């Protein structure tokens, strides 16, 4: 009886130890899966945030270009918006314009400008220049610098220059946010900062 009891106790102890080991392994597996899910969610969220802010910056630059060609003058060097759009253009749209679609648009724009200059509207000058730059840009600018922190710094410098030029043309910081046309221009220029600042922070994290 004593031997049987000892054997039963030993089997029970082994069973409990095995259960404890399995439970520990399951807990570690659960923690690992939870950490993986958190990292995936965080990475996806940051990636989505960057893409969204890139669209915001692109739309703000286009908005300022439209303002510059209407009665709501921006009083800024609007041609600087072209390299800004080049470096901040969403990837799928950039590659679309860099392909056959962009080549056809650039070809038609050049033909119209050469042979029908009077029918070529002034407001198409900068958009046509943007398409040409996208199509003919060397790989160094299109692939390397555009996707690097250098391109982000260029966007940030352009935004800072446009902001200070707008404030000076408005007659001071207060006027740039109180006049009717100054407010719209100021908001558009400030939105140019959201993408490069966010992307630079993520780049150096």
Check residue 177 and give its pLDDT: 73
Check residue 33 and give its pLDDT: 40
Count structural domains, the chain: 1
Check residue 39 and give its pLDDT: 45
Its pTM stands at 0.72
What is the C-alpha to C-alpha distance for residues 168 and 190, in angstroms, rounded to an integer?
A: 15
Check residue 92 and give its pLDDT: 87
Q: Which domain holds residue 154?
A: 2-203
Check residue 17 and give its pLDDT: 54
Check residue 38 and give its pLDDT: 45
Run means of pLDDT, 10 residues per run, the chain, 205 residues: 49 53 53 45 53 89 82 68 92 90 91 85 85 91 86 92 84 73 80 90 80
Count CB atoms within 10 A of the CB of residue 169.
Answer: 15
Check residue 18 and give its pLDDT: 53
């Amino acid at each position: 009886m004593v031997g049987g009891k000892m054997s039963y106790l030993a089997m029970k102890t082994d069973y409990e130890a095995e259960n404890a080991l399995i439970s520990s392994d399951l807990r570690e597996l659960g923690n690992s899966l939870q950490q993986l899910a958190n990292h995936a969610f965080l990475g996806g969220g940051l990636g989505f945030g960057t893409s969204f802010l890139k669209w915001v910056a692109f739309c703000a630059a286009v908005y300022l270009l439209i303002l510059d060609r209407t009665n709501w003058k921006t009083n800024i060097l609007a041609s600087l918006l072209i390299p800004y759009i080049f470096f901040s253009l969403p990837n799928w749209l950039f590659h679309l314009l860099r392909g056959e679609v962009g080549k056809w648009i650039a070809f038609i724009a050049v033909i119209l400008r050469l042979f029908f200059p009077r029918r070529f509207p002034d407001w198409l000058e900068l958009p046509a220049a943007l398409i040409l730059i996208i199509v003919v840009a060397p790989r160094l600018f299109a692939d390397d610098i555009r996707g690097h922190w250098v391109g982000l710094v260029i966007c940030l410098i352009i935004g800072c220059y446009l902001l200070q030029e707008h404030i000076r043309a408005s007659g001071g910081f207060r006027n740039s946010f109180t006049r009717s046309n100054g407010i719209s221009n100021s908001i558009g220029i400030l939105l140019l900062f959201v993408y490069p600042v966010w992307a630079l922070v993520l780049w150096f994290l």
